[in-house]
Amino acid sequence: MSPVQAIPSDVESLVLELQSHPVNTNEFFRTFESRKLRHQQLRAFIGQYHYFCFHFVKVLEGLLYHTPIHEMEMRTELAKTLYSELGSGSPDRVHIRQLERFASVIGLRQQDLQCTVPIPEVTTYLDTLRRLYLDSGHLTALGAALAVETTAASEFKYFVPGLERYEQFQPGELEFFTLHLAEEQHHGNWLVEAVRKTARSEDDLQHVAVGARETADAWLAFWAGIHRMVFDANPTDSHE
């Protein structure tokens, strides 16, 4: 992306910019949808993806804690997103548990997931989110959260049809992925509402845009790393 970018005129224009970011159509998504992965490739991907999802929720909790107490609208929308991630009050529907149930279907035990060593791109992306969520101003952090939730919807548009091509998976085993087709749209809408009510000036919106753009770029680098690991590195699978 260009190092010098215009201030978005409103949150809708920023959302459109995020929706047109190349991360939404990156090479890993397109390859995942069009080509069946070998068993060890699918396991390698899910191990890294689980590592990210598992640690992301704690970063999201930190963002809620660090949001100024007087920013009630922002805190409310973040709380809704966190509540959704935690199963909307149902421990069995906590999103990470749904992903772990799918992981078990492909032979990844809890012990396997806990022993996952993240690739550098996963570590870098989590570090970027921690910095933006916890150590930047709340408007930049809000922009980062907006980018996370706006771009997250794209992956499931590729993952669901890709996984449905595998004969061995029953529909219920894909619950984590099918749920997120609609769930991420809700998350994105909540964050748009938070920006509308929190960014009160052109300068505020510029801070939001800075966080959003850095996050989208970092998310693209994350998926480039996943693509390299899954399709270029030919990971071995000691459990086969």
Q: How confident is the model at residue 92 (pLDDT cuts 50, 70, 90)?
A: confident
Is 240 domain-assigned?
no
Is 70 domain-assigned?
yes
User: pLDDT tens-digit profile of 182-194?
Assistant: 777 778 888 999 9
Q: How confident is the model at residue 6 (pLDDT cuts 50, 70, 90)?
A: confident
C-beta neighbour count of 9 within 10 angstroms: 10
Is 88 domain-assigned?
yes
- The range of the structural domain enclosing residue 39 comes to 11-232
Q: How many domains does one find in the chain?
A: 1
Mean pLDDT rounded to a whole number for the chain: 91
Residue 2 has pLDDT above 70, yes or no: no
Amino acid 9: pLDDT = 73
CB 132 within 8 A of CB 65: no
Q: How confident is the model at residue 234 (pLDDT cuts 50, 70, 90)?
A: low
Cα 153 to chain centroid distance, Å, stands at 8
Residue 73 has pLDDT above 90, yes or no: yes
Is 179 domain-assigned?
yes
Mean pLDDT for the stretch of residues 183-210? 89
Is 6 domain-assigned?
no
Amino acid 122: pLDDT = 98
User: pLDDT tens-digit profile of 21-50?
Assistant: 999 999 999 999 999 999 999 999 999 999
Is 173 domain-assigned?
yes
Q: How confident is the model at residue 236 (pLDDT cuts 50, 70, 90)?
A: very low
| Of residues 28, 50, 30, the one with CA closest to residue 229 | 28
Amino acid 186: pLDDT = 79
Look up tokens 């998350």; give the residue. 187
Is 56 domain-assigned?
yes
For the domain that residue 109 is a member of, what is the CATH number? 1.20.910.10
Is 129 domain-assigned?
yes
User: pLDDT tens-digit profile of 134-172?
Assistant: 999 999 999 999 999 999 889 999 999 999 999 999 888
